[in-house]
Amino acid sequence: MSKRDLKKYLGELTKEQLEEQLVELYEKFSPVKVYYDFVFNPKEDKLLQEAKVKISHEYFPVKKPNAKWRPKAKMRRSVAQKIIKHFIMLGVDSFIIADIMLYNIEIAQTFSSQNIIKQELFYKSIFNSFEQSVNFIISNGIFNDFKERISGIEQETSQQKWKNKRDFEALLDKIDF
């Protein structure tokens, strides 16, 4: 069904029929419920804090009470990517999305400053996140608000002597940083 056909169909329904369909969608489909819950009660600060906790647990997992061992860091970039994609879908403010994007990189750098990471893919993945973040921030016209954090991330790659630190520098050189 095309968008035009959908509009025509919805235009033929009464207000009560439309309300019934929306309630049915809300009850049947979780994404619809999540969307409307956010639209009517957009607790962006709470969402931001929950997202940061989830991302930080990827690098610094919390030992469960009465557990004899501490879980190993998973360092999955996909967790942050799913959160970011979800935030974009919900229409969360671009400042909050940019904050999460940069936080993901900063927590990974904090982890790498305390641990030896042998996987080359980790560094490449963090660079990909950095590139996506910078592009998102520029496209939303909020670069000046995040300039210091972006610069800090690039400087941290140099301080930690990441093998791909030149990629970070080159990206910032391209945008006349």
Instruction: Give dist(CA 175, CA 138) in Å, integer.
Output: 9
pLDDT value of position 177? 61
Q: What is the 3-state composition of the chain as percent helix, strand, coil, each rounded to the nearest 5?
A: 75, 0, 25
Instruction: Give dist(CA 115, CA 109) in Å, integer.
Output: 10
Mean pLDDT of 68-81: 84
Spatial CB neighbours of 171, under 8 Å, sequence gap ≥ 6: 130, 131, 134
pLDDT value of position 6? 87
Instruction: Give dist(CA 171, CA 20) in Å, integer.
Output: 51
Whether residue 88 is found in the same domain as residue 162: yes
Whether residue 143 is found in the same domain as residue 60: yes
pLDDT value of position 108? 96
Q: Closest Cα to residue 98, out of 50, 128, 138, 70?
A: 138
Q: Closest Cα to residue 107, out of 83, 85, 91?
A: 83
Whether residue 145 is found in the same domain as residue 66: yes
Instruction: Give dist(CA 177, CA 172) in Å, integer.
Output: 5
Domain count across the chain: 2
Whether residue 151 is found in the same domain as residue 134: yes
Mean pLDDT of 61-70: 75
Residue 12 carries which side chain, given as an amino acid letter? E
Whether residue 31 is found in the same domain as residue 53: no
Instruction: Give dist(CA 78, CA 152) in Å, integer.
Output: 23
HSE-CB at 99 with a 13 A cutoff on CA atoms is 13
Spatial CB neighbours of 51, under 8 Å, sequence gap ≥ 6: 83, 87, 100
Q: Which domain covers residue 128, as residue numbers?
A: 44-174
Q: What percent of the chain has pLDDT over 70?
A: 99
Summarised one tens digit per residue, pLDDT across range 126-135 is 999 999 999 9
pLDDT value of position 39? 79
pLDDT value of position 44? 83
Summarised one tens digit per residue, pLDDT across range 148-163 is 999 999 999 999 999 9
Average pLDDT, the chain: 91
Summarised one tens digit per residue, pLDDT across range 11-61 is 988 999 989 998 998 899 888 888 888 878 778 888 899 999 999 999 998
